[in-house]
Structure 1
Amino acid sequence: MSAVGCGSPEEASPREAAPEAVLEVESSLTQVTGFGTNPGNLLMYRHVPTGMPANAPLVVVMHGCTQTAAAMENTGWTAAANLYKFYVVYPQQQSGNNASSCFNWFEPGDITRGQGEVLSIKQMVDAMKSAYSIDASRVYLSGFSGGGYMAPALLATYPDVFSAGAINSGGPYKCALTMTAGFNCMSPGVDKTPAAWGDLARSGYSGYTGAWPRVSIWHGTSDFTVKPMNLTEAMEQWTNVHGIDQTADTTETVSNFPHKVYRDGSGNAKVETWEMTGMGHGVPVDAQYSFPGSSTVCGTAGAYLLDVNICAVYYQAQFFGLTGAVTPGDTTPPTVNVTAPANGATVSGTVTVTASASDAVGVARVEFLVDGSTVSTDTAAPYEFAWNSTGVSNGTHTLGARAFDAAGNQATDNDTSVTVSNSGTPTPVTVSFTSITGDDGYIKANADGSAPALGTLTGLALGRGTDGKYNRSFMSFDTSSIPDTATVTRVYLTVTYSSGSGDPWSTPAGNTLLIDVKNGTFNAATTETADWATAATASSVASIGSFTSGTKASGDFSGAGLSAINLTGKTQLRLGFSGNQTATQYLFVKDGTGATLTVVYTP
């Protein structure tokens, strides 16, 4: 926990509350003291927009290590509050409590209901409720880094106070209960079962029987301060708390970033994840983006505020139900109907699917479904998308639409049946192959000028090892089951992270894994040292971008890569970084069932 990101968790000093006062500080924040017993000895800042209506929402925003409350304004929360009319509280840590100004998310005395820092923040909420007309059912929170670990602590200990929360570059509740464990929690991460994580969250308020908060989880895939594994573990914790499984019900891409939604049996979104591909440790902002219907810009780029062309504050506020004129207690779902093509129609080629949707308050978005799976999302009328029907088999298919309002209510129309008839166009076939472990391997060579040598460790190594040598890896797939007369139209490789050291993606900047293809094998079936430099049938056919956990798919293979797939035997791939690392920086990927070659072809 260096000064970069979460900072160093230090032992807390004795607490003492400040005398009551209201002090004006920089930006638009007002400092408030005397808001309670304040056992965590935190500072409280508030923002009150002009023209506030009665019964308005409240959002608590928590900074990361080395940051201040005022710094978090630049994420866009103050601007959003002015636009959508909700109150904001910005708690601030003091260096006397933690040398790096981190919230003490790893100290049991600060993350236990009725104690320490979580109680101080709860008292800030109580003070706001006493001073202003606030809807107690619409109190939310968002935290980054150290605040991103404190966010689930508040959701777990005070589920009766907070209705939803956002975790930015943080992790699950009780991931660590000591300073030393905090280091391990951040990197490489702690793996527990969903049930074990869920039990830890439920222990925050034993005996609680009310509704649990909904959770939005954001994490950069290139975050080397708090490893992305924390996103997965947090998702597992809160889906288990809500009694739902860990399979996403909606998977889509928004502004080029993967977004997944986990719903209950009634279709209500309980947990969502946003994987910020290629982003490091920070909160996503979009300095060129204005909130819909306004000229208000979302956020300002700065330290830990990363301009990656997506406004996290807007999507989190939308998840909370703050971006529309939300009626308190609104439980009335919108209406939605697929209007084209007509039920019973016969279609072919690319078809424009349209839907009508309305709501007493406002429609937030419409998702389009094909055979029950979400394939597209539209956020503005007219709601439509272009469906390429050649991607499914000929025959009967169901088209549907699901509409959401600003309060999170939803409705689905799923009764439009069409017949796909693409005569003369073969139906694409998709097959997946796992690698042949006995044929796989890796070679290390060349950094010190020595001859190539076979690797001996379990797994497939890539990058620069501790011996100063570079590593290339090989994967073999038996693709002979593809018909000899088939036309291969799409191929991509999916690999699984195993372990690693350092950041092999950073040197040189923009480093990627490149894939060479051999129709057959580079030499014998098993890896040989000569394979290091043996000519490929097609070189650099696709690349794999940065990832530090889970799985990662390559881009689609080039035309030369498609032609190199062997329809009568084995296809072998050679993986290596596009640039040589200058220090020990490497990763291991899995083979066998951990590596999948997906091939789409027409007979």
Structure 2
Amino acid sequence: MLEATRLTRAGQLLEATAMIQRVLRGESTPPAADEPPRADAQTTLEGECRVVESEPAVLTGTVDAAPRASREPAQPDPQRAAASAQGLGARLREKIRQHWREFRKPTPGAEPASVGSPGVVPEGERFVTASYTNYVGTRSYKLYIPSGYHGQPLPLVVMLHGCTQSPDDFAAGTQMNALAEAQLCFVAYPAQTHAANSSKCWNWFKASDQQRDGGEPSLIAGLTRQIADNYSIDPKRIYVAGLSAGGAMAATMATTYPDLYAAAGVHSGLPHGAAQNLPAALAAMQGSQRMSHSRHSTGGSHTDPACVPTIVFHGDRDTTVHPCNGEQVTAQSMSSHAAPGATGAKDALRVIVESGKVPNGHAYTRSTHHDANGRPLVEHWLIHGAGHAWSGGSPRGSYTDPKGPDASREMLRFFYEHPQGAVSRRAS
């Protein structure tokens, strides 16, 4: 599209039209000399994003051209060529918008239920609203305070919702408050704003929101520290987790603030730095863009790179964020834990693979990666038959699949096993 725009501005309208048509047809070379591009061709773009077996979904297109009256090339019509180029660009932009809407649409069968206070806060506990402001802006958040809190240091879990969700919705779906009451921890639910993103997605795909002390990471880290200042929070037991866009942002928070978050949970998300703009985000979501996970592929971190234990959940029938992204989150975290200069099999993390099945629910495969001392560093849960939804969640919230293993309980278990310092931070 950039090249087509340049050609249009240069007055090369026929060339711009031909280039866009070739891209939509999936061609990489110009047409043969005896078949010049037709300015009056009518081009339509049709397609869908889905997972077919284990192959990434692709954007397909068709080109319907009117039959030529003769073998002689049509006379150039600059005005018609300009209109055609503009029309093709508009269709392509609309197709991008359609795929983006798919990213924020609930999984079939997991539509939002009405969410209110009952069920979100067990009787006797507090679910308060607060906000944090810095030079970037302001974000409100809900904070769950367990009834067993009497000033003693407790863990804090920061939960980042997915697109179109709210703190109340996310709390109801994950049921994290009930677990926090039973296991004694605070839970914070930051809220994305419509002003920052019209779909209330965390902007994980913007370079400006992937840096330490900048963009949305600075807001999330800031409100985390604000809670730690206002309450007795154990600084060694602060964690971050999220779903979908929130999961991708959780990966970014772990990468950019490894000194603040002791461990991370990424559910149906993407690795840190998977994209820097919307088209690249769509490609990453479809699984058509793979990342390199070298030791220096996690720019913007406080240390290079971050060593934050991570637990990953992903459904193998997720047609919104391709399951390969869960594998890439795992690979990115494993790369951060690898010893400096590690190249051989003897330096690789040891993995234990287990299979299981929820009674009357989904089967799953859990892969646990351990360091040389046998300490678990990364867990990857692949939920068989699950789509884009929080595994084991409640139908009271959106984007949930009650038939899967309890992701909330497993994340909290993993977090409690990994206080800050349990896994030594590697020197850069």
2:379 aligned with 1:272, yes or no?
yes
2:315 aligned with 1:216, yes or no?
no
Distance 1:185 1:139 in 2: 29
**Bigger shift: residues 301-310 or 261-270:** 301-310
4+ residue runs of structure 1 moved beyond 4 angstroms?
24-27, 206-209, 244-248, 328-331
Distance 2:129 2:189 in 1: 9
2:170 aligned with 1:72, yes or no?
yes
1:249 corresponds, among 344, 351, 355, to 351
Question: What amino acid is the match of 1:199?
Answer: H
* Residue 193 of structure 1, CA deviation: 3.4
State the percentage of identical aligned residues. Answer: 27
1:88 corresponds, among 187, 193, 200, to 187
SS of aligned partner of 1:226: coil
Question: What amino acid is the match of 1:159?
Answer: P
Distance 1:147 1:330 in 2: 25
* Residue 223 of structure 1, CA deviation: 0.3
**Cross-structure match for 1:389:** none
* Residue 31 of structure 1, CA deviation: 1.4
CA contact (8 A) 1:95 1:101 kept: yes
CA contact (8 A) 1:189 1:230 kept: no
2:367 corresponds, among 243, 252, 260, to 260
**Cross-structure match for 1:111:** 210
**Cross-structure match for 1:123:** 222
2:147 aligned with 1:46, yes or no?
no
CA contact (8 A) 2:338 2:349 kept: no
2:200 corresponds, among 101, 114, 122, to 101
Question: What amino acid is the match of 2:383?
Answer: M
Per the alignment, do residues 315 and 282 of structure 1 end up closer, same or farther by CA in structure 2, a change over 3 Å counting? same
Distance 2:233 2:225 in 1: 10
**Cross-structure match for 1:62:** 160
Q: After superposition, what is the alpha-carbon deviation per residue over 1:324-375, rounded to whole angstroms, capped at 9, x for unaligned?
A: xx9x8897xxxxxxxxxxxxxxxxxxxxxxxxxxxxxxxxxxxxxxxxxxxx
SS of aligned partner of 1:204: coil
* Residue 303 of structure 1, CA deviation: 2.5
Distance 1:330 1:234 in 2: 21
* Residue 38 of structure 1, CA deviation: 5.9
Return the structure number with greater relative CO, CA threshold 8 A, min gap 6.
2
* Residue 111 of structure 1, CA deviation: 1.7
2:265 aligned with 1:166, yes or no?
yes
* Residue 122 of structure 1, CA deviation: 0.5
Distance 1:207 1:261 in 2: 24
* Residue 3 of structure 1, CA deviation: 3.5
Distance 2:366 2:184 in 1: 27
Distance 1:232 1:78 in 2: 28
CA contact (8 A) 2:197 2:203 kept: yes
2:407 aligned with 1:305, yes or no?
no
1:176 corresponds, among 256, 271, 275, to 275
**Cross-structure match for 1:501:** none
Per the alignment, do residues 238 and 158 of structure 1 end up closer, same or farther by CA in structure 2, a change over 3 Å counting? same
CA contact (8 A) 2:349 2:372 kept: no
* Residue 104 of structure 1, CA deviation: 0.5
**Cross-structure match for 1:575:** none
2:230 aligned with 1:230, yes or no?
no
Please list, as runs of the form range in 1=range in 2, the aligned pairs for 1:407-556 lying within 5 A after superposition: none
**Cross-structure match for 1:199:** 296
Per the alignment, do residues 247 and 221 of structure 1 end up closer, same or farther by CA in structure 2, a change over 3 Å counting? farther
SS of aligned partner of 1:249: strand
SS of aligned partner of 1:42: strand
Distance 2:385 2:350 in 1: 22
SS of aligned partner of 2:300: helix
* Residue 135 of structure 1, CA deviation: 0.7
Q: After superposition, what is the alpha-carbon deviation per residue over 1:415-438, rounded to whole angstroms, capped at 9, x for unaligned?
A: xxxxxxxxxxxxxxxxxxxxxxxx
Distance 2:128 2:101 in 1: 27
CA RMSD of superposed structures (Å): 2.6
Matched residue pairs, number? Answer: 296
- TM-score, reference length from structure 1: 0.46
CA contact (8 A) 1:246 1:262 kept: no
**Structure 2 unmatched runs, 5+:** 1-98, 106-115, 122-126, 340-346, 358-362, 424-428
Per the alignment, do residues 147 and 329 of structure 1 end up closer, same or farther by CA in structure 2, a change over 3 Å counting? closer
**Cross-structure match for 1:37:** 134
Q: After superposition, what is the alpha-carbon deviation per residue over 1:522-545, rounded to whole angstroms, capped at 9, x for unaligned?
A: xxxxxxxxxxxxxxxxxxxxxxxx
* Residue 128 of structure 1, CA deviation: 0.7
**Cross-structure match for 2:83:** none
Structure with the largest fraction of strand: 1
CA contact (8 A) 1:192 1:233 kept: yes
Q: After superposition, what is the alpha-carbon deviation per residue over 1:22-70, rounded to whole angstroms, capped at 9, x for unaligned?
A: xx9884432102x341625322221111121511100000111011111
2:256 aligned with 1:157, yes or no?
yes
Q: After superposition, what is the alpha-carbon deviation per residue over 1:207-262, rounded to whole angstroms, capped at 9, x for unaligned?
A: 458x7210011100000100011011111111001116666521101333100011
CA contact (8 A) 1:153 1:204 kept: no
**Bigger shift: residues 183-192 or 90-99:** 183-192
SS of aligned partner of 2:392: strand
Per the alignment, do residues 205 and 218 of structure 1 end up closer, same or farther by CA in structure 2, a change over 3 Å counting? same
**Bigger shift: residues 177-186 or 302-311:** 302-311
SS of aligned partner of 2:236: strand
- TM-score, reference length from structure 2: 0.64
Distance 1:248 1:304 in 2: 33
CA contact (8 A) 1:40 1:119 kept: no
Per the alignment, do residues 219 and 98 of structure 1 end up closer, same or farther by CA in structure 2, a change over 3 Å counting? same
SS of aligned partner of 2:260: coil
**Structure 1 unmatched runs, 5+:** 8-23, 287-298, 332-406, 408-603
Question: What amino acid is the match of 1:251?
Answer: V
Question: What amino acid is the match of 1:37?
Answer: N
SS of aligned partner of 1:199: coil
**Cross-structure match for 2:5:** none
Distance 2:348 2:246 in 1: 25
**Cross-structure match for 1:284:** 391
CA contact (8 A) 1:189 1:229 kept: no
**Cross-structure match for 2:64:** none
Question: What amino acid is the match of 1:39?
Answer: V
* Residue 271 of structure 1, CA deviation: 0.9
